[in-house]
Amino acid sequence: MFSSHAIDANSTRSGRWLRQNRYRFTLWLAAIEGLFYLVGLLHRWEAIVLAVLGVLLFFTVARSNRSDAIRQVIWIFAVAQLLVVLVPFLFAVFKAIAIAVVVLIAIVALIVLFTDRR
């Protein structure tokens, strides 16, 4: 008859639903925008400007807004934009690792070829 679930005082049904699914929305939005970055539709400075805008919106609008849904949407936008800013860095790291692996394979192949006594 009684439930142990507490409802936040300033939350709405849509706000609670967004809060429950915000990680999923954030990751999908960041993945789509990350693909846009990788194919050249979104440039580094555009991603940085969007990330700064998202953080500013969060600290100015979302924290003082009474609407739970608006706070959740701005949180999703801000975190997704910050994740997109990480894409160039992660791309550079993985590219460097791939180059290092190819170089190591080439060195091992050269050693095997030069030490072959046939």
pTM for this model (two decimals): 0.70
CA distance 68 to 10: 7
pLDDT for residue 17:
87
- Residue 57: per-residue pLDDT: 92
Query: What Cα–Cα distance (Å) separates residue 34 from each residue in 25, 55, 73, 114?
Result: 14, 18, 19, 44
How crowded is residue 72: how many other Cβ atoms within 10 Å of its Cβ?
A: 23
Mean pLDDT of successive 10-residue stretches along the chain, which has 118 residues: 60 83 91 90 90 92 83 91 88 94 96 87
Q: What is the pLDDT of residue 98?
A: 97
Q: What pLDDT score was predicted for residue 3?
A: 58
- How much is the pLDDT for 65? 81
